[in-house]
Structure 1
Amino acid sequence: MGDLLSRPNAPRARLRELLAAPGPLVAPGAYDALSARLVEQAGFDVVYMTGFGTTASLAGRPDVGLLSGTEMVDNARRIVAAVDVPVIADADTGYGNAINVVRTVQLYEQAGVAGLHLEDQVMPKKCGHMSGKAVIGVEEMAGKIRAAVAARRDPDLLLIARTDAAAVEGLDAAIARARAYADAGADVLFVEAPTSEDDIARVAAELRDVAPLVFNWAEGGRTPPIPLDRIAELGFSLVLYPIGTLLAATAGIRSFLETLRAEGTPTSALPGLPTFEGFTDLIGLPEVHDLEQRFAP
């Protein structure tokens, strides 16, 4: 857990080690530092900072390119500080052209993320499971990937190239783009939003020998919700569950507020909630008490 004085042990090297292990690496989404701590405390080996969830939590708005790169990096920094496991972060389009990508990669690296993904959408982008997306040219995106590779200072920083072209140009084009991005230096490939199990299987068959692959198990999205053992059988290396924590939090808060509104007090809802003491333990109050004793005059 990301204690105040903890020093994570080489999270980038650890992420690469986890990706190289048999079976897919599961990365639940986190939208803030608290949800990231909960992911880690649940026993998962990696946290995924969701752009969809970050936008919803910071702005209360949909993921349609409203947040700046600075806001996304700031959220990544807070999440990284809250946990000891590696963090993979959504870096959207890189927030501009190849020169902007250079700065974006450097800022995310300074924030401490172990990996990030860049996508080939036109700015302002949209969530990969929304309609109305547009993509930039393949050569322009390949240039952005080359810029990202040149910008990173730590060679272990994992660069994931995402293409949203399947919904715009078709699956053939998306697979061809993924190959081009691998040639440009991407470490991992991410074909967003295939809409059938046959398409998922085709992505895996054609690309799994090119580079490790991401499967985005977007809760309620356009991609079929196939079982984890099938994802493993197809050869995907990383599985993202991007917004389940956000949806669960929304449902829990809504239920609590309905009780409060109807009854005037939250008394009947309290048995289903963490206790005050249990919650303060969860977020690290015992460590604070220990440090107060350690550094007392």
Structure 2
Amino acid sequence: MLYAQKTPADKRADFRAALASGELLRFPGAFNPLSARLIEQKGFDGVYISGAVLSADLGLPDIGLTTLTEVAGRAKQIARMTELPAIVDADTGFGEPMNVARSVQEMEDAGLAGLHIEDQVNPKRCGHLDGKQVVDQGTALQRIRAAVDARRDPNFLIMARTDIRAVDGLDAAIDRAKALVDAGADAIFPEAMADLDEFAAVRGAVDVPLLANMTEFGKSDLFTVQQLADVGMNLVIWPVSLLRLAMGAAMRGLDELTDAGSFTGKLGEMQHRSELYELIDYEGYNHFDTSIFNFTVAR
């Protein structure tokens, strides 16, 4: 009913404890607050909030057009709807190091459990596209130091994402990961690894949690949770998968409407009204007014 009962501070503490357990944590990407609640209902460990998804939700490409205000506002709406920890893609930090510092505090205030800051230049692009450019190491480290300095809750996770693998190769990615850890990063997101051996190489180089990005149609193969656990990953995200599934279903539904003149043929693929009401805890609002949920929904 309404929003999560667990406080952001408690979510962060629980998230840190889960990361320390050594188990691989599964964070599907939520494309709206309701999908975050569904992720929780289905028993996952946390919620990921993708910059690409937030851009697409606005009808924009993932090239750094979204603002800190837009991202923090939408991330807050998503994070508050679930008892799970949520981490957010903060792109390059929305500006210079001082902007990175402000971004961290805005995301703390929004109730997030953590964020990641990447080392691309502006305008950035999706991490699985060709033609990426990264900043020099000094600039990358400056961003992370600013993020760490700005943090008020020590359990708020500062993750450093590096995109340098696609630009200068695996050795460069390992060197940068080490430097980012030395700069204070709590975790590393090595983007666009080519195979499991590359994930394993980064795992052998740094002693902080590592995130694997299992995005479809990208540079990395789609490894299973077990395969990633076997090479020592700590977090796995599927950032855009639910949005892709939802949009694919919407495309097919609109085609059905064009061809058949109704959605009748798609009823079996829809979330039932009763399932929606259960997910949003319609009945729980009778706590305020007993006339709210005084009906039966046929299944």
Q: Would the TM-score normalized by the shorter structure come out above 0.5?
A: yes
Instruction: Describe the SS at the equivalent of 2:271.
Output: coil
CA contact (8 A) 2:93 2:100 kept: yes
CA distance in 1, matches of 2:72, 2:4: 21
Give the equivalent residue in structure 2 for 1:55. Answer: 55
Residues 156-209 of structure 1: per-residue CA shift (max 9 Å, x gap):
0011000001111221111111111101111001111012333222222222xx
Aligned identity (percent) is 42
Instruction: Describe the SS at the equivalent of 1:89.
Output: strand
- Does 148-157 or 21-30 show the bigger shift? 21-30
**Structure 1 stretches (4+) deviating beyond 6 angstroms?**
none
Give the equivalent residue in structure 1 for 2:46. Answer: 46
Q: State TM-score, norm by structure 1.
A: 0.93
Matches within 5 A, 1:17-36: 17-36=17-36
CA contact (8 A) 1:80 1:113 kept: yes
Return closer, same or farther for 1:5/1:172 CA change in 2, 3 Å cut-off.
Answer: closer
Aligned length: 290
Structure 2 unaligned blocks of 5 or more = 293-299
Q: State TM-score, norm by structure 2.
A: 0.92
| Amino acid in the other structure paired with 1:103 | R
Return closer, same or farther for 1:134/1:42 CA change in 2, 3 Å cut-off.
Answer: same
Give the equivalent residue in structure 1 for 2:81. Answer: 82
CA distance in 1, matches of 2:195, 2:12: 33
Matches within 5 A, 1:21-170: 21-57=21-57, 59-170=58-169
CA positional deviation for 1:79: 0.4
CA positional deviation for 1:23: 2.5
Structure 1 unaligned blocks of 5 or more = none
Instruction: Describe the SS at the equivalent of 1:159.
Output: strand
Give the equivalent residue in structure 1 for 2:213. Answer: 216
CA positional deviation for 1:5: 5.5
State whether structure 2 residue 268 is matched by structure 1 residue 255: no
Give the equivalent residue in structure 1 for 2:274. Answer: 277
CA distance in 2, matches of 1:88, 1:33: 14
Return closer, same or farther for 1:251/1:137 CA change in 2, 3 Å cut-off.
Answer: same
| Amino acid in the other structure paired with 1:32 | N
Instruction: Describe the SS at the equivalent of 1:116.
Output: strand
Instruction: Describe the SS at the equivalent of 1:70.
Output: helix
CA contact (8 A) 1:95 1:123 kept: no
Residues 253-278 of structure 1: per-residue CA shift (max 9 Å, x gap):
11211111111111121122122233
CA distance in 2, matches of 1:20, 1:110: 24
- Does 102-111 or 284-293 show the bigger shift? 284-293
CA distance in 2, matches of 1:22, 1:102: 29
Instruction: Describe the SS at the equivalent of 1:82.
Output: coil
CA distance in 1, matches of 2:256, 2:189: 42
Residues 72-131 of structure 1: per-residue CA shift (max 9 Å, x gap):
111110001211110011111001111000110010010000011000111111111011
CA contact (8 A) 1:214 1:236 kept: yes
Give the equivalent residue in structure 1 for 2:203. Answer: 204
